[in-house]
């Protein structure tokens, strides 16, 4: 929703020559959307649900490909799109949930505790992976020290991986779902408004079957 200050600005500029008025309106819409995508809904700094020790704890009885993911918990992995695609190939037969994030993204921070919980509880049946796009490694490492993940993330500074996740590459966060056959079946661009909505999508698109 665009706030009243934006609406008042449109009214004040409504008598400007049409090309100028259209440009101002367009700029205002772009600014409002950018604020909503990257800063809104963060509600400050949510508490982490995992410390690093628990994030790295092995999963009893997990298949080798999922045990390997837990062994790389909270790491930032290089190799770009080739390494990410190779990982998807290794995970054939297992559903995969991919969360794209950045350290500067408030909504990403808001969602992170939910991904901590889901991956910790269901990492023995579902593969969780992160993609850290348009970010610096130092900032991303600091972010992960505050909110450690029980799975690794792939460095993606130039959106090479983001291009194949099904949503607009500039949408943060984005959550993508691959079925056990390796097919991308659903992408949710933007922040989940409630943890229950994320859980519902995981249940629907990554059942572990």
pLDDT digits (tens, 9 = 90+) for 141-163: 999 999 999 999 999 999 999 99
Other Cβ atoms within 10 Å of 166 Cβ, number: 18
Predicted pLDDT of residue 134: 97
Per-residue pLDDT at 205 exceeds 60: yes
Q: Kindly report the pTM of this predicted structure.
A: 0.78
Specify if 44 maps to a domain: no
Q: Please check whether residues 102 and 9 belong to one and the same domain.
A: no
Per-residue pLDDT at 96 exceeds 50: yes
Other Cβ atoms within 10 Å of 152 Cβ, number: 21
Mean pLDDT of the chain: 82
Predicted pLDDT of residue 148: 96
Q: Please check whether residues 137 and 34 belong to one and the same domain.
A: no
Q: Please check whether residues 86 and 22 belong to one and the same domain.
A: no
Q: Please check whether residues 91 and 153 belong to one and the same domain.
A: yes
Average pLDDT over residues 196-206: 96
How sure is the predictor about 78, in pLDDT bands with cuts at 50, 70 and 90? very high
Contacts made by residues 161-164, CB under 8 angstroms, sequence distance 24+:
161/80, 161/81, 161/84, 161/100, 161/131, 161/133, 162/100, 162/131, 162/133, 162/134, 164/81
Predicted pLDDT of residue 46: 67
Is 174 or 43 the better-scoring residue by pLDDT? 174
Q: Which domain holds residue 94?
A: 52-205
Nearest to 178 by CA among 201, 198, 148: 201
Q: What percent of the chain has pLDDT over 70?
A: 77
Predicted pLDDT of residue 110: 96
What are the tokens at 1? 């929703």
Q: Please check whether residues 143 and 94 belong to one and the same domain.
A: yes
Specify if 96 maps to a domain: yes
Sign of CA dihedral 160, 90, 71, 171: positive
Reported as a single tens digit per residue, the pLDDT across 180-192 is 999 999 999 999 9
How many domains does the chain fold into? 2
Q: Please check whether residues 119 and 177 belong to one and the same domain.
A: yes
DSSP single-letter state for residue 130: E
Q: What percent of the chain has pLDDT over 90?
A: 69
Report H helices in the chain.
4-12, 18-38, 52-55, 64-71, 80-90, 106-122, 137-146, 195-205
Q: Please check whether residues 17 and 115 belong to one and the same domain.
A: no
Q: Please check whether residues 142 and 188 belong to one and the same domain.
A: yes
Q: Please check whether residues 29 and 111 belong to one and the same domain.
A: no
Specify if 169 maps to a domain: yes
* Distance separating alpha carbons of residues 113 and 48, to the nearest angstrom: 6
DSSP string spanning 70-82?
Answer: HHTTTPEE-SHHH
Q: Please check whether residues 86 and 180 belong to one and the same domain.
A: yes
Collect all residues with Cβ–Cβ distance below 8 Å to 209 and sequence separation of at least 6.
95, 180
Average pLDDT over residues 79-105: 97
What is the distance in angstroms between the CA of the first residue and the CA of the last residue of the chain?
39
E strand or H helix that includes residue 181: none
φ/ψ (deg, to 5) at 150: -85, 30
Predicted pLDDT of residue 208: 54
How sure is the predictor about 128, in pLDDT bands with cuts at 50, 70 and 90? very high
User: Which CATH number covers residue 119?
Assistant: 3.40.30.10
Is the Cβ–Cβ distance between 133 and 169 less than 8 Å? yes
Specify if 107 maps to a domain: yes
Q: Please check whether residues 12 and 77 belong to one and the same domain.
A: no
Specify if 164 maps to a domain: yes
Reported as a single tens digit per residue, the pLDDT across 9-61 is 433 343 434 433 333 333 333 333 333 444 433 344 568 888 888 888 888 88
């Amino acid at each position: 929703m665009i706030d009243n200050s934006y609406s008042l600005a449109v009214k004040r500029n409504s008598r400007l020559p049409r090309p100028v008025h259209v440009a101002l309106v367009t700029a205002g819409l772009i600014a409002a959307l950018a604020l909503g995508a990257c800063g809104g809904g963060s509600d400050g700094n949510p508490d982490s649900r995992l410390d690093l020790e628990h994030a790295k704890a092995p999963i009893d009885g997990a298949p080798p490909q999922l045990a390997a993911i837990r062994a790389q918990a909270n790491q930032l992995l290089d190799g770009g799109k080739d390494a990410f695609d190779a990982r998807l190939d290794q995970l054939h037969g297992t559903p995969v949930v991919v969360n794209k994030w950045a350290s500067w993204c408030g909504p990403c921070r808001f969602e992170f505790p939910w991904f901590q919980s889901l991956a910790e509880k269901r990492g023995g049946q579902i593969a969780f992976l992160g993609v850290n796009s348009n970010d610096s490694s130092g900032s991303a490492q600091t972010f992960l020290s505050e909110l450690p993940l029980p799975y690794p993330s792939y460095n993606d500074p130039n959106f090479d991986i983001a291009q194949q996740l099904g949503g607009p590459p500039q949408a943060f966060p984005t959550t993508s779902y691959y079925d056990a056959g390796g097919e991308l079946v659903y992408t949710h661009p933007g922040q989940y408004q409630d943890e229950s909505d994320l859980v519902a999508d995981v249940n629907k698109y990554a059942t572990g079957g």
